[in-house]
Chains A and B, each alone.
Chain A
Amino acid sequence: MRTHVPPLTRPALPGTGPTGARAGALAGALAGTLAGALALSSCSAAPRDAATADETLRVVGPFEVHSLEPAASDGVFTRLEVAETLVSSDLSGELTPGLATDWSASPDHRSWTFQLPAGATFHDGSPVTAEAVADSLERAAADEASPLAEAAVERVVAAGGAVRFETARPSVTLPALLTHYSAAVLAPASYDGDRVTEVVGTGPYAIDSVELPASVETSRFDGWRGETPPAVEKVSFQAVGRAESRALLAVSDQADVVFGLEPAGRERVEAADGLTLESSLQPRTILLKVDHEHPLLGDLRVRRALSLAIDRPAMAGAVLREEDLAATQLFPPSLTAWHSPGLAPLEHDVARARELLTEAGFAPDADGVMRRDGAPLELTLTTYPDRPELPALATAIQQSAREAGFLLDVEVANSSEIPAGHADGSLEIGLMARHFALVADPLVTVADTFDADGSDWGVMNWSDDRVLDAVDDLLRDEPEPRARADRATVSRVAQEELPLIPVAWYRMNAAVNDRVADFVIDPLERTWRISELEWSA
């Protein structure tokens, strides 16, 4: 390993320094001890603040809030239902009305009109006017980090009780792009010049207090336009970086909903009374991004050998504690439209991997390392610790690949090293987690992943006309069954050519206290659906 970076993550933030790396290792070593200690601490006295706990929903997660700007907020304000996007999505990823009640496109898909609800108000009491919404969304469209920037929005104009988007090129996916948290609509009072100084939204909950980076408190907004007011009156969100700490909060009844549990804590929660572990398969795939212009990796036989060398079920079992998370293809089953059950699954076959390498002109040396023209099959695998399972998977892949004769150097760096390495061509193999539904329609992310010019978090120096044609078709809003055939083409070519080598799928979990009813995890992580929760009788 060339660089040792502390396990500092954005969503899961252990907040560890140079000493933290040691603590991270220690955490692992102590996992067993801790599991035992946790087991001793069966359900016991709850230091519940009687005055507030009964009406406050206490949510704990690893997500720190670094900014009030929608694009840099990590979606916390939309998850807490403070701010709303024009378009929302349901649990199956279908688009549903958000702040907008209805929308329609011009025949050329270059102009979209979104109807606004009559009589809606922002949390400060000001009316939700078309001008205010248009202004807020123009700011979002101008933010390069927002997926909305992809749509080439030229202007957003107020049109009576509606807002109209005009785009430079046809944009079939604009409503889906508008589901992203960076496109949340904020009141004029939220802005001071270019900055967001306050989050004044339109959602069922309004901000009571924000203490960046770790705490947000909200309460029910009485002026909300919804028909039935939410059952939960007050919500407190707290960011807690360490998974151990989060698990302790869950089992000691100091939090009602705790997101992001790691295996030891997960087992404890499953065993505890009064807690339920909820989970949902995410539209996220852990995969290897490979440089196709690399003299070794450009050869399909080498890519297939690498794929065959990876023992996915063993890794998923050891690292993710669930063998079923081993990827059999690029798109997880949660992406129902894109997952192809008919595809022959990716397999683990070291002997076949070595055969392929031999066909490609490699021969093993005395140590079992494959060599061609004297040079070893040596590659650098770059990954990042923002998702704690990635470095662990990287070393597991390193071991697996070694059996087939690959020498992989694992480099754990900042997440930005993947796009930066893509840009300057220095990346060889990147182990990364790709979210295929950053916006409600996976097509947006799929189109970007397989872009002809490559993609920061997608293919590198690889393109295939079959995939490009299929994606173009889909972006023209081709009807079924042609669209279905196009999606199948993308899945099939990806499986055959391995432009990206899938490793594992991903599951999101949460410990939920039994006093909370009707809790459901949104697979897209867009919202925590707090307004739909009930207190158990």
Chain B
Amino acid sequence: MVRVSGPRLLGIVARRAVQAVGVAVLVSTACFAIVRSLPGDAAYRIAAGRYGYDLVDAESAAAVSAELGLERPVWQQLVDWLWGVARLDLGDSLVTSRPVLEEVVYYLGGTLQLAGAALLGAILIGGPLGALAARHPGGPLDRATTAWVALVRALPPFLLGLLLVLLLSVQLGLLPAVGHGSASGLVLPALTLALGLSGLVAQVTRDAVVEVRASEHVRFARTKGLTERAVTTRHVARNAGATLVPYLGVQAVVLVEGVVVVESLFAWQGLGHALVHAVFWRDVPVLQATALVLTLLVVAVNTVVDVAVATLDPRPRTRDRSLDRNHSRSRPRHQEVPA
């Protein structure tokens, strides 16, 4: 196992830390500006969020506006927020009046559980499937995998989720249909996402493994007499991993941000849910905090991916490109994960 050198690790982390602060300020400000420019009266929106449509009227909107100081100059509200963030105080939700930090931590917890379980499931299903398919490109297993990829990609998560509920919960009675908080409640939404994602993981794994297996250094490894097992674990898995890890990083980010439909189907409390509510209700502090957390999460995932790739593929990035060309076939294809 090659270790990433200390200075290099430090460099990665330091670069990402600076990026995190910059992006955080930028995203917060942009969020604030976008919400302010949305049509509709914020006080009315917040009152509707708090009290429901039966009770929102001019009086409750005026009371909300007075309570929250919505009439203050815009720049003052923004400066207040940024100053709060600098003191690690994210403020209170305009709608629920609870501390934003408490709410975001709650929803983030739900999201991370779901995303983590889904990613793990996708790797466990898709990884072996792709690796097996790659052994005989064009063979029956490869073709079956392709069919699987097409099937799970074509099924929208909403439908897939319903089918899983019907099968595993309604018919077989193995799992609760919906619900947040229990481990058994996590299985169905995570499985829904994992199945959908497993197709892509299988495909990327398969392509990476096929490419690596055809490369010169793997041929050389075989030529020098290594067993197939040793070739697979030492050369193929590692090189394919360098492709797969950045890809999974992107998927992790997508899972954190984009699972609103599955969250709502299974009544799972996650960040997607919180984000949509915050936009709908003009709950600026929650929106800013959620965006901030997501931003930092993207940076964190990228950092982990960088470190992981650096571990898998320790060649320094600054070396002369001309030297690199000879090894181009074994280089990971998707090194940069968009931040």
A interface vs B, CB < 8 Å? 3, 5-6, 8, 10-11, 13-17, 19-20, 23, 26-27, 30, 33-34, 37-38, 40-41, 44-47, 66-67, 69, 71-72, 74, 143-147, 149, 182, 195, 211-215, 238-242, 244-245, 248-249, 251-252, 254, 384, 386, 413-420, 422-423, 432-433, 435, 438, 456-457
CB-CB under 8 A from A456, the residues of chain B are: 56-58
Which positions 26-67 of chain B face chain A at CB distance < 8 Å? 39-41, 44-45, 47-63
Q: Give the one of B44, B47, B57, B263 with max A CB within 10 A.
A: B57
CB-CB under 8 A from A146, the residues of chain B are: 55
Name the residue on B nearest A63 (C-beta). B52
On whether the beta carbons of B41 and A254 are closer than 8 Å, the reply is no
On whether the beta carbons of A242 and B260 are closer than 8 Å, the reply is no
Knowing A8-B277, A66-B95, A249-B177 are in contact, say whether A414-B48 is a contact too (CB < 8 A): yes
Contact residue among B53, B97, B266 (Cβ-Cβ distance under 8 Å from A67): B97
CB-CB under 8 A from A46, the residues of chain B are: 173
On whether the beta carbons of B260 and A19 are closer than 8 Å, the reply is yes
Knowing A17-B275, A212-B96, A415-B48 are in contact, say whether A251-B170 is a contact too (CB < 8 A): yes
Q: Taking the nearest CB of chain B, how far is it from the CB of A64, in angstroms?
A: 9
Contact residue among A37, A418, A438 (Cβ-Cβ distance under 8 Å from B163): A37
Q: Taking the nearest CB of chain B, how far is it from the CB of A46, in angstroms?
A: 6
Q: How far is the CA of A215 from the CA of B273 in the complex (A)?
A: 15
On whether the beta carbons of B61 and A245 are closer than 8 Å, the reply is no
B246 contacts the other chain (Cβ, under 8 Å)?
no
Contact residue among B95, B96, B261, B267 (Cβ-Cβ distance under 8 Å from A214): B267
B264 contacts the other chain (Cβ, under 8 Å)?
yes
Knowing A11-B52, A145-B55, A416-B40 are in contact, say whether A248-B177 is a contact too (CB < 8 A): yes
On whether the beta carbons of B158 and A47 are closer than 8 Å, the reply is no
CB-CB under 8 A from B48, the residues of chain A are: 10, 414-416
Number of interface residues of B (CB under 8 A): 61
On whether the beta carbons of A30 and B58 are closer than 8 Å, the reply is no
On whether the beta carbons of B265 and A244 are closer than 8 Å, the reply is yes
Main secondary structure of the interface of B (DSSP, over half): helix
CB-CB under 8 A from B176, the residues of chain A are: 47, 254
Contact residue among A242, A245, A414 (Cβ-Cβ distance under 8 Å from B280): A414
On whether the beta carbons of B163 and A23 are closer than 8 Å, the reply is no
Complex A-B: 5 CB contacts under 8 Å: A3-B39, A17-B260, A17-B261, A415-B48, A416-B44
Contact residue among A17, A211, A241, A457 (Cβ-Cβ distance under 8 Å from B181): A211
On whether the beta carbons of B276 and A240 are closer than 8 Å, the reply is no
Q: Taking the nearest CB of chain B, how far is it from the CB of A2, in angstroms?
A: 9
Q: How far is the CA of A416 from the CA of B171 in the complex (A)?
A: 42
On whether the beta carbons of B50 and A419 are closer than 8 Å, the reply is no
Contact residue among A69, A145, A245 (Cβ-Cβ distance under 8 Å from B97): A69
On whether the beta carbons of B57 and A419 are closer than 8 Å, the reply is yes
Knowing A212-B96, A416-B56 are in contact, say whether A248-B166 is a contact too (CB < 8 A): yes
Q: Taking the nearest CB of chain B, how far is it from the CB of A41, in angstroms?
A: 4
Name the residue on B nearest A26 (C-beta). B158
Knowing A34-B162, A149-B59 are in contact, say whether A44-B173 is a contact too (CB < 8 A): yes
CB-CB under 8 A from B56, the residues of chain A are: 145, 415-416, 419, 456
B179 contacts the other chain (Cβ, under 8 Å)?
yes
Known A45-B172, A182-B55, A245-B165; 12 more pairs at CB < 8 Å: A11-B52, A15-B276, A37-B166, A66-B95, A145-B56, A245-B177, A254-B169, A416-B53, A418-B53, A419-B56, A420-B40, A420-B44
On whether the beta carbons of A252 and B40 are closer than 8 Å, the reply is no
On whether the beta carbons of A240 and B178 are closer than 8 Å, the reply is yes
Knowing A16-B276, A240-B178, A419-B61 are in contact, say whether A41-B171 is a contact too (CB < 8 A): yes
Name the residue on B nearest A8 (C-beta). B280
On whether the beta carbons of A67 and B264 are closer than 8 Å, the reply is no
Knowing A144-B60, A415-B48, A420-B40 are in contact, say whether A67-B96 is a contact too (CB < 8 A): yes
Q: How far is the CA of A213 from the CA of B98 in the complex (A)?
A: 11
Closest 10 CB pairs of A and B: A45-B173, A15-B264, A416-B44, A144-B63, A415-B53, A416-B48, A456-B57, A145-B60, A17-B260, A252-B170
Q: How far is the CA of A215 from the CA of B53 in the complex (A)?
A: 22
On whether the beta carbons of A47 and B53 are closer than 8 Å, the reply is no
Q: Taking the nearest CB of chain B, how far is it from the CB of A4, in angstroms?
A: 13
Q: Give the one of A149, A242, A457 with max B CB within 10 A.
A: A242
Q: Taking the nearest CB of chain B, how far is it from the CB of A385, in angstroms?
A: 10
CB-CB under 8 A from B57, the residues of chain A are: 419, 456-457
On whether the beta carbons of A416 and B47 are closer than 8 Å, the reply is yes
Contact residue among A10, A45, A147, A248 (Cβ-Cβ distance under 8 Å from B165): A248
Q: Give the one of B47, B158, B179, B269 with max A CB within 10 A.
A: B158
